[in-house]
Amino acid sequence: MNESEPRKLLSTKIDAGVKAAVAAAIERHRKLGESIAVWQDGKVIILTADRIPPMPKQK
């Protein structure tokens, strides 16, 4: 195993954790009826809770 392999494993775990946290935060906003701001076509767009798609069911 070379020196960069543990870094790749750690960065993969960090990336997965960040994605899971963001998904959970978005889902929480949707369930609580809170809006979120997203970047779309070079502009900030506010999505109301009814426009936030639900998270897919995880296995």
Question: pLDDT tens across 6-54, in order?
Answer: 778 899 999 999 999 999 999 999 999 999 999 999 999 999 999 998 8
For residue 7, give Cα distances in angstroms to 14, 16, 33, 43, 54. 10, 14, 39, 34, 33
Reported pTM: 0.72
- pLDDT attached to residue 39: 95
What per-residue confidence (pLDDT) applies to 21? Answer: 95
pLDDT at 45: 96
Ordered by start, the domain boundaries in the chain are 4-51
Those residues with Cβ within 8 angstroms of residue 26's Cβ, 6 or more apart along the chain or in another chain: 36, 52, 55
